Amino acid sequence: MRFRARVLGVHFGGNVVILNPDDMEELETSINERVRVKCSGMEFSATVCGSRQLIQRGEVGIPENIATFYGIADGDIVEVRPSSIPASIEYIKKKIDGKSLTYEEISSIVKDMVRGNLSDIEIIAFILSEQFHGMSVDEIEYLARAIAESGVQADFEEPVYDKHSIGGVPGNKVSLLIVPIVAAAGLLIPKTSSKAITSPAGTADTMEVLAPVEFSVEELVKIVKKTKGAIVWAGGLNICPADDIFIRVQRPLMLDPEPHMIASMMSKKIALGIDFLVIDIPMGKETKVETKEHAIRLARKFTELGERLNIHVECGITYGGQPVGHAVGPALEAREALLALEGKGPSSLIEKSTALAGILFEMGGLAPRGRGKDLAKRILESGRALKKMREIIEAQGGNPDIKPDDIPVGDHRAVIEAPCDGYVTDVSNAAITKIARAAGAPRDKGAGVVIRYKRGHKVKKGEPILEIYAERESKLSEAYSLAVKLNPITIEGMLLYRYPDFEFS
């Protein structure tokens, strides 16, 4: 059937069209069923919604974001017809049953997803099947290759280095030090990052405070050939559009199954032609990897997968028992990273950054094994890394002269004080993450927390131990209430709860 397009000022996550129920009946389709939509040579699959109030007979409602993507204008003639169920649905069901998938089956799922043939519900079903049943190394390789093949690929025409973290520790802004340290030594390091899914700030969220992060592959190549380094958002490059869809669907439930996390990371390395890769695996309480045994198993998977993909991979198992540095949240972390590049940052951030950069130096032959960290520290202490970071910021369109105090943070601030004298015995990763996100991070760049004292420090009663920043009063109130409830920082000797004044929900 042919319909006149009516572009609606709404945005939907997946491909959706809206029909009048009478037209749906004539078309022999129902709500949530699939249709094929064709207009001006473009064709895509969509899920049907219905409305008598919004849509008259003979009209098809197209959400604004979908109309823009497919080039459909208000009033265009659009053909809509029922669509058959794609074969990839059977492969998703197969994985839900706990069975292994072939490369062809996984590739079919990824291709159908990119073409808009799968609904968000079907995509999340596939992700949950990974969560509950896991994936073999073969399947992870197939998924990584399929995601990489969904978009364009880069060619830098020389050896390419990279660092990536599996995440799970708040405040982990080490890439903002590692990239300029490595680039200052002459190695090419085009760092791409996703925006935060489960954390208060991804690397791209933090770098975006200092400079634009959205570029095409051609623009990235140009930047990196000029500066040797870049820190950009992977979603803007179109290198792995399938991964962008997965991330969008995962975000509401804050899902990140280990097999998918590995495939997602490695797909971007394939697309960027990475030759040498160091992977940061933070280990500790309330991280993605809580035990040494788990860390080693994960490191083996990464190195084996690297061999299959012709990427030299080494893993750094790092301390993750508390946040890295003191700042959590995009603007606060950007401030702290600049301070560290100026030689004034916290030791935990500097030690971790130089250790991981040192592994890349050893992989690249710039330092003998065990001496790479020394070289990384010399470059940082000499000011060469700060100079290189300013070059990168300028090349990406930011202000190269920006100083830490120039970075605005949330106007609304609350302080949590020490309830007694004592020593800090624990800083909860999970609680800090929840509080920073409640304050508005990463969406609100100025939101987040500053941890004044970490494990082992002596504090006095009434001394500030946690500062919360927010851009909105309502978010500050929410975050403060959560901080009072969660007790993110434990001080030896402090009273944790008083019953019946406090009830566990």
Note if 244 is an active site residue.
Answer: no
Which of 84, 503, 178, 231 is closest to 373 using CA atoms? Answer: 178
- Could you tell me the CATH number of the domain that includes residue 76? 2.40.40.20
Last-in-domain residue among 359, 376, 404: 404
Distances from the Cα of 70 to the Cαs of 73, 249, 480, in angstroms? Answer: 9, 20, 44
Which of 143, 233, 138, 154 is closest to 188 using CA atoms? Answer: 154
Backbone φ and ψ for 325, nearest 5 degrees, come out as 70, -155
- Could you tell me the CATH number of the domain that includes residue 207? 3.40.1030.10
Q: Report yes or no on 202 lying in a domain.
A: yes
Judgement on whether residues 184 and 319 belong to the same structural domain of the protein: yes
Judgement on whether residues 272 and 398 belong to the same structural domain of the protein: yes
Q: Report yes or no on 355 lying in a domain.
A: yes
Judgement on whether residues 77 and 94 belong to the same structural domain of the protein: no
Q: Report yes or no on 237 lying in a domain.
A: no
Sign of the alpha-carbon torsion through 338, 344, 346, 352: positive
pLDDT at 494: 59
Judgement on whether residues 30 and 121 belong to the same structural domain of the protein: no
Looking from the CA of 57 toward its CB, the CA atoms found within 13 Å total: 5
pLDDT at 497: 62
What's the CA gap between 441 and 443, in Å, rounded? 5
Asked if residues 358 and 375 have their Cβ atoms less than 8 Å apart, the reply is: yes
Judgement on whether residues 221 and 274 belong to the same structural domain of the protein: yes
Judgement on whether residues 312 and 395 belong to the same structural domain of the protein: yes
Judgement on whether residues 289 and 364 belong to the same structural domain of the protein: yes
pLDDT at 254: 77
What's the CA gap between 400 and 441, in Å, rounded? 25
Judgement on whether residues 224 and 205 belong to the same structural domain of the protein: yes
Q: Is 477 exposed, middle or buried (0-12, 13-18, 19+ CB in 10 A)?
A: middle
Last-in-domain residue among 404, 426, 450: 404
- Could you tell me the CATH number of the domain that includes residue 429? 3.90.1170.30
pLDDT at 90: 96
Amino acid at 222: K
pLDDT at 14: 77
Query: Residues 120, 162, 256, 275: which is the catalytic one?
Result: 256
Domain encompassing residue 445: 412-491
Asked if residues 185 and 299 have their Cβ atoms less than 8 Å apart, the reply is: no
Last-in-domain residue among 404, 437, 469: 404
Which of 333, 318, 230 is closest to 281 using CA atoms? Answer: 318
Q: Per 3-state DSSP, what percentage of the chain is helix, strand, and coil (rounded to 5)?
A: 45, 20, 35
Judgement on whether residues 334 and 371 belong to the same structural domain of the protein: yes
Structurally, how many domains does the chain consist of? 4
pLDDT tens, residue order, the chain (505 aa): 999 999 999 988 778 999 999 999 999 999 988 899 999 888 888 889 999 999 999 999 999 999 998 899 999 999 999 988 889 999 999 999 999 999 999 999 999 998 888 888 899 999 999 999 999 999 999 999 999 999 888 989 999 999 999 988 999 999 999 999 999 999 999 999 878 777 899 999 999 999 999 999 999 999 999 999 999 998 888 888 898 889 888 878 878 899 999 999 999 999 999 999 999 999 999 999 999 999 999 999 999 999 999 999 999 999 999 999 999 999 999 999 999 999 999 999 999 999 999 999 999 999 999 999 999 999 999 999 999 999 999 999 999 999 999 999 999 999 999 999 999 999 999 999 999 999 999 999 999 999 999 999 999 999 999 999 999 999 999 999 999 999 999 998 656 666 666 555 5
